[in-house]
Amino acid sequence: MKRSDKDQYHPAIAAFVVCAVLGPHSAQAQTPSFTEAMMTAAERSHYERTSTFNEVIGVLDALDSETDLMHRETLLLTREGRDVPIVVLASPAVSSPAQAEASGKPVIYIQANIHGGEVEGKEASLIAMRDILFGDKQHLLDNQILIFVPIYNADGNDAMRENSRPNQELSPVMTGVRTAHGYDLNRDGMIVEADETKALFRNVIQRWNPDLLVDLHTTNGTWHGNSLTYAPSYATAGDASTSSYTSEVMLPALKQSVKEKFSLDIDWYGGYDYRSWPPTELRTYNHAPRYLTNYMGLRNRMAILSETFSHDRFYKRVHVANVFIEEILEYTHQHGRTIQQINHEADRRVATTAIGQQNGVQFSMVPREEPLDLLTYRYIPYHKPDGSTDFVRSAELVTIAGVLNYNRFESRQTALVPSAYMFSAAFTGLAEKLQEHGIWVETLEADAAFPGKQFMVREVGKRNTVQNGHTNSLLSGEFVDITKTFSRGDYVVSMDSPLANLIFYLLEPESDDGLAYWNLFDDFLDEALSLSESVEYPIFKVR
């Protein structure tokens, strides 16, 4: 037990101490300690402000000094010099992925603050770690390994200014900014350009291989009536089993437990147009795997998006985020083996059956079979002097039955999954980009000819919006059947891999979130199309 003789129990924290009948499961449980330094800046300020990076580190240091069950690693050193922590909690303690794998326990990863102004998950995850180490949640380490990154966008968090989140109505007054140096980190899952994304993939996703990712956010303003809304990793080109279990089994169970235990309403994420009152449909966000929760589905893993209600006061947002984290971990405590089994079965299925199948490359949002009873604030229509109709939001909560719940996606265009993709040795940047995703890239040992499909690009269309500095591309053309010769040293990406669906979505020319969409081939294609009406897409599909 790491403890300083100077530590004193402070009466101000008495209300936070949970008295429990101590069980035999660890020495830690027999002598719990709790110090004022373990309290978050939000708690100590009566929820008038949120934690700086250094204050987060201070809480982690205080927790670490009193336990042997915490292991810390570095996610990355940010551009501004902040050493972003990864916190691993386990009993007995683990300090490496090899130890985690040997334990057989599921690994659950919880990250907060990817958008620097959305601060509730940061505070709530610190409280959850304290509850797990010193409160009434110590049993959550009995059979699972928990990984936390409580302050993912550290530079954005500390770029605090007044009213950077106007939907949070100055609660707290000072919060960080959404981006990291102008870059939205939750749009980077496919092109992987930000330092934070590269570090996440290298040091958490590939290194610790979590079974479930929980991403903690706060909404941007829809006046629904829930304390928190959620979404699974949306099923697109990925194996549907992981998303289906999350959406049809786990999330409904969490909704019920949160309501029964805490009288809090949580439900599907989405927005509606109040100007068409009453609303007839709720629509979620984009399906694209550039969003990290959706990305996990392409890796045959589960993910949950959590969005606290921005118009609630700060203390309530922190409370419901903490409730949701701890109820998720209660669920994985009971069902972690099932989650592992579903994920591993998806790995095997994708590695052995994806080749030769049609898979989706573009998708449309569609309603789920069951409509939604939408809890929301009522809007009241009124007539303006010019004769037009507008709406004012009332303070009344109402439930609107039969609302179409657009929280599902279906493919509107498909492509054949090849046995392998091949491309010239000149495209070293492409090989490196795939390797950043943990995809195995091989090289040919001798010249050889391969039958397959070649996409002929006729046009590089451009979207009319910019995201993360990209004006995204949409390729037009058609596939032709040819035999193509490749040379020694050219690259081969085999599809007999658990990551086959990710490889497919990244490399297909008409993918709506692939590497072509993110402009990786624009220079090559634009130059070639200036000389010819059509040009070979630089990646070949082996039949």
Rounded Cα–Cα distance for residues 45 and 285 (Å)? 34
DSSP characters for 135-172?
A: STTGGGGSS-EEEEETTSSHHHHHS-EETSSGGGTTSS
Would you tell me how many other CB atoms lie within 10 Å of the CB of residue 222? 21
For residues 205 and 293, the answer to whether their CB atoms sit within 8 Å is: no
Phi, psi angles (nearest 5°) of residue 528: -65, -40
Please give the sequence-ordered ranges of beta strands (E in DSSP) within 284-384, or none if there are none: 302-308, 358-366, 372-383
Rounded Cα–Cα distance for residues 50 and 418 (Å)? 50
DSSP state of 224: B
pLDDT at 34 (0 to 100): 79
pLDDT at 19 (0 to 100): 37
DSSP characters for 42-103?
A: HHHTTTSS---HHHHHHHHHHHHTT-SSEEEEEEEE-TT--EEEEEEE-SS---SHHHHHHH
Three-state DSSP class for residue 198:
helix
pLDDT at 32 (0 to 100): 55
DSSP characters for 91-138?
A: SS---SHHHHHHHT--EEEEEE-SSTT--HHHHHHHHHHHHHHHSTTG
Residue ranges covered by each domain of the chain: 11-353, 358-409, 414-542
For residues 460 and 475, the answer to whether their CB atoms sit within 8 Å is: yes
**Of 189, 174, 176, 121, the residue nearest 149 (C-alpha):** 121
Please give the sequence-ordered ranges of beta strands (E in DSSP) within 271-343, or none if there are none: 281-283, 302-308
Residues 6+ apart with CB under 8 A from 463: 471, 472, 473, 474
Could you list the pLDDT tens digit for every one of the 543 residues in the chain? 443 333 333 333 333 333 333 333 444 444 456 789 999 999 999 999 999 999 999 999 999 999 999 999 999 999 999 999 999 999 999 999 999 999 999 999 999 999 999 999 999 999 999 999 999 999 999 999 999 999 999 999 999 999 899 999 899 999 999 999 999 999 999 999 999 999 999 999 999 999 999 999 999 889 999 999 999 999 999 999 999 999 999 999 999 999 999 999 999 999 999 999 999 999 999 999 999 999 999 999 999 999 999 999 999 999 999 999 999 999 999 999 999 999 999 999 999 999 999 999 999 999 999 999 999 999 999 999 999 999 999 999 999 999 999 999 999 999 999 999 999 999 999 999 999 999 999 999 999 999 999 999 999 999 999 999 999 999 999 999 999 999 999 999 999 999 999 999 999 999 999 999 999 999 999 999 999 999 999 999 999
Decide the pairing of beta strands 145-149 and 107-112: parallel
pLDDT at 497 (0 to 100): 98
In this prediction the pTM is 0.93
Residue 495 CA, distance from chain mean position:
25
Q: How far is CA 33 from CA 8, 9, 133, in A?
A: 10, 8, 9
Tell me which fold the domain 11-353 belongs to: Aminopeptidase (3.40.630)
Rounded Cα–Cα distance for residues 298 and 270 (Å)? 22
Would you tell me how many other CB atoms lie within 10 Å of the CB of residue 523? 9
